[in-house]
């Protein structure tokens, strides 16, 4: 915090606490230290529709707190002029552990993510100079930028830094699963059976404790011809990456309907059945672990569903600091 003292900022630092059992985060907090003033500014920006062309689509319109910061019960999110986003909006939590962003890894920084959403014609459909002009005309924003950064100047870099301070604070690590791991709770018999099934059938890709290994994989979903989304290959141009998407975290899975990169499944039980009922589409890039599908009987499926529900974090979901 020496740099902050030199600028004369009267700020309130926030310590980023790594939850028990979690690895060290990937994000460099040294480049953007968390402060209460930055967090509150980022929160205001996150819920402000004025970042979009018609003021109707704030970040929170696609990333809704009630649904662990995804779009509540929608396959793909709505955007400007009644358009739809290309993909199902992922839940926003534990972002600090990502080294690249978007489901195809197309963004190397969070700044790229924000700029991409603001300027995408099917999402917020605005341009950054216009957003900055809007914010600069607001006296309350001037005061908040001054409190966070030392003066009233509103810049693209500062806007993104504040948004990141809010988004990076969305840490989910207090589910029943976490409490069991900390010795504060116990699984019931069905949940324990489901955990055993999970460890045997799912953990290779959905690695604990993040419940993702952050790799890109083809999980055998047939391509939607209306979207023509080839996933990671859109970024790399490499045919070996065709139809590969980042393995999603299973945390809060019970809260984040719909499922699949394009939200084609309304319940995560249907997503499980995709793996067990022969719905996997064979292609050259199909993940080898799924060549023969997953052998899970009905009892194991029920148990797996029960276990996945232990990954829901009501503390995170109901945290008033994350609500408007």
User: Which of 133, 149, 171 marks a domain boundary?
Assistant: 171
Q: Which residue in 211, 209, 231 sits closest to 220, CA to CA? A: 231
Average pLDDT over residues 196-220: 97
Here the tokens at position 51 are 């970042």
Q: What whole-number distance in Å separates Cα of residue 24 and Cα of residue 17?
A: 10
Q: Output the domain CATH number for residue 105.
A: 1.10.760.10
CB 181 within 8 A of CB 280: no
Count of structural domains within the chain: 2
* DSSP bridge partners of 78: 84
Q: How confident is the model at residue 6 (pLDDT cuts 50, 70, 90)?
A: very low
Cα Rg of the chain, angstroms: 21
Q: What whole-number distance in Å separates Cα of residue 49 and Cα of residue 45?
A: 8
b (16+ CB within 10 A) / e for 162-177 = bbbbbbbbbbbbbbbb
CB 210 within 8 A of CB 106: no
Q: How confident is the model at residue 278 (pLDDT cuts 50, 70, 90)?
A: confident
- Full residue range of the structural domain in which residue 276 is found: 176-316
| Residues of the binding site for heme c | 59, 62-63, 202, 205-206
| Residues of the binding site | 59, 62-63, 202, 205-206
Higher pLDDT, 213 or 74: 213
Residue 137 and residue 191 share a domain: no
Q: Which residue in 57, 47, 48 sits closest to 83, CA to CA? A: 57
DSSP letters spanning 78-98: B-GGG-B-SSPPPP---GGG-
Residue 44 lies in a domain: yes
Average pLDDT over residues 30-42: 97
Mean pLDDT of the chain: 95
Task: Say what the pLDDT of residue 123 is.
Answer: 96
Q: What are phi and psi of 145, to 5 degrees?
A: -65, -40
Residue 115 and residue 184 share a domain: no
Length of the chain: 324
50-64, 119-133, 223-237, 269-283: segment of lowest average pLDDT: 269-283
Residue 96 lies in a domain: yes
Task: Say what the pLDDT of residue 279 is.
Answer: 84
Higher pLDDT, 324 or 186: 186
Q: What whole-number distance in Å separates Cα of residue 9 and Cα of residue 55?
A: 32
Residue 85 lies in a domain: yes
Q: pTM for this one? A: 0.94
Task: Say what the pLDDT of residue 277 is.
Answer: 80
Task: Say what the pLDDT of residue 8 is.
Answer: 57
pLDDT, tens digit, for every residue of 93-131?
A: 999 999 999 999 999 999 999 999 999 999 999 999 999
Q: Which residue in 203, 61, 277, 116 sits closest to 265, CA to CA? A: 277
């Amino acid at each position: 915090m020496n740099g902050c003292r030199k600028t004369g900022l009267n700020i309130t630092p926030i310590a980023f606490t790594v939850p028990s059992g979690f690895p060290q985060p990937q994000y460099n907090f040294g480049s953007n230290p968390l402060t209460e003033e930055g967090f509150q500014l980022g929160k205001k920006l996150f819920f402000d529709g004025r970042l979009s062309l018609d003021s109707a689509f704030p970040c929170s319109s696609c990333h809704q707190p009630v649904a662990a910061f995804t779009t509540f019960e929608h396959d793909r999110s709505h955007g400007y002029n009644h358009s739809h986003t290309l993909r199902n909006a992922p839940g926003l939590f534990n972002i600090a552990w990502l080294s690249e962003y978007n489901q195809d890894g197309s963004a190397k920084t969070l700044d790229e993510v924000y700029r991409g959403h603001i300027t995408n014609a099917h999402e917020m459909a605005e341009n950054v100079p216009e957003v900055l002009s809007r914010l600069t005309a607001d006296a309350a924003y001037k005061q908040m930028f001054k409190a966070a950064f030392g003066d009233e100047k509103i810049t693209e870099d500062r806007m993104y830094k504040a948004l990141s301070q809010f988004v990076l604070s969305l840490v989910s690590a207090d589910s029943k699963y976490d409490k069991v791991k900390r010795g504060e709770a116990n699984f019931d018999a069905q949940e324990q059976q489901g955990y055993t099934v999970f460890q045997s059938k799912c953990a290779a890709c959905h690695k604990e404790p993040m419940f993702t290994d952050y790799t890109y994989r083809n999980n055998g979903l047939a391509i939607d011809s209306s979207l023509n989304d080839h996933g990671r290959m859109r970024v790399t141009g490499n045919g070996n990456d065709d139809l590969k998407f980042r393995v999603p975290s299973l945390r809060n899975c019970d809260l984040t309907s719909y499922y699949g990169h394009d939200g084609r499944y309304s319940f995560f039980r249907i997503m499980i059945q995709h793996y067990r009922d022969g719905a996997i589409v064979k292609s050259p890039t199909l993940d080898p672990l799924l060549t023969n599908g997953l052998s899970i009987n009905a009892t194991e499926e029920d148990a797996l569903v029960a276990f996945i529900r232990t990954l829901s974090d009501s503390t995170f979901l109901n945290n008033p600091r994350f609500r408007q």
